[in-house]
């Protein structure tokens, strides 16, 4: 290879490898961003498979372990039938409630902390905003809800592979001298709950 050819070819090779390196960097960055996005959506995954990506029927101890891994502290309001943790749900701060039967998980819910308002603090607008936002998201995922007489809550009933899940989206405005306001969403595995109740009955007969 002549000196003239070298001066022509070598810069071309250098530019080729530089271009390849830049493309690899872009691919790695995009893959990393997608991984972060998928990870955050998995945390909030709820429905027929479970709540907060925790499968129905998970033991109480395993639920506590998973919450600890997410750095969601346990709330002192927890009791024999439920454990409450302070964490995140769908990108919002929330009190996360896990309900148990026979020491296994059958129901989960989120109460959004920003909507937990006392009477007179002007929080009704925030309550309405959260309720409308989650109503829109749930309709997009599960279709139109049903309603019940004298109840402002919305309900979705999902049936997949013999499992019936009821989703309830509710809100309460703060009452003078009474309860605080709130917006909440609950996921109840009714099929699993009934099976566990029947298990206890058959065991005790």
What is the per-residue pLDDT across 99-115, written as a single tens digit (0 to 9) for each? 999 999 999 999 999 99
Residues 124 and 183 in one domain: yes
CA dihedral for 23, 29, 32, 33, sign (positive or negative): negative
Residues 14 and 94 in one domain: no
Judged against a pLDDT cut of 50, whether residue 79 lies above it is answered with yes
- Of 196, 189, 141, 193, nearest to 165 by C-alpha is 189
- Of 80, 96, 126, 92, nearest to 187 by C-alpha is 96
Confidence of residue 117 (pLDDT cuts 50, 70, 90): confident
Judged against a pLDDT cut of 50, whether residue 36 lies above it is answered with no
- Of 147, 130, 59, nearest to 91 by C-alpha is 130
Residues 188 and 122 in one domain: yes
Work out the burial of residue 154: count CB atoms within 10 Å of its CB; fewer than 13 is exposed, 13-18 middle, 19 or more buried.
buried
Q: Tell me, what's the pLDDT at 45?
A: 52
pTM, full prediction? 0.74
Residues 69 and 98 in one domain: yes
170 φ, ψ (degrees, to nearest 5): -135, 165
Residues 35 and 60 in one domain: no
- Of 191, 90, 88, nearest to 135 by C-alpha is 90
What is the per-residue pLDDT across 47-78, written as a single tens digit (0 to 9) for each? 678 999 999 999 999 999 999 999 999 999 99
Residues 91 and 156 in one domain: yes
Residues 54 and 125 in one domain: yes
23 φ, ψ (degrees, to nearest 5): -65, -40
Reading the block at residue 134, the tokens are 């989650």
192 close to 56: Cβ distance less than 8 angstroms: yes
Residues 39 and 62 in one domain: no
* Residues of the domain holding 113: 50-204
C-alpha gyration radius of the chain: 25
What is the per-residue pLDDT across 155-175, written as a single tens digit (0 to 9) for each? 999 998 889 999 999 999 988
């Amino acid at each position: 290879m002549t000196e003239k050819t070298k001066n022509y070819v070598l810069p071309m090779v250098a530019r080729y490898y530089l271009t390849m390196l830049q493309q690899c960097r872009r691919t790695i960055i995009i893959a990393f961003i997608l991984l972060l996005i998928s990870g955050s959506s998995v945390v909030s995954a709820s429905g027929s498979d479970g709540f907060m990506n925790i499968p129905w029927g998970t033991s109480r101890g395993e639920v506590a372990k998973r919450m600890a891994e997410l750095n969601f502290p346990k709330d002192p309001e927890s009791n024999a039938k439920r454990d409450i943790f302070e964490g995140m749900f769908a990108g919002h701060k929330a009190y996360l409630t896990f309900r148990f039967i026979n020491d296994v998980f059958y129901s989960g819910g989120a109460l959004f902390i920003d909507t937990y308002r006392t009477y007179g603090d002007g929080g009704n607008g925030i309550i309405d905003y959260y309720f409308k936002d989650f109503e829109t998201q749930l309709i997009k995922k599960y279709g139109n809800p049903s309603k019940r007489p004298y109840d402002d809550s919305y309900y979705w009933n999902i049936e997949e592979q013999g499992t019936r899940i009821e989703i309830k989206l509710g809100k309460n405005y703060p009452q003078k001298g009474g309860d605080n306001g709130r917006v909440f969403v609950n996921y109840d595995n009714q099929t699993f709950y009934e099976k566990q109740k029947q298990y206890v009955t058959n065991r005790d007969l």
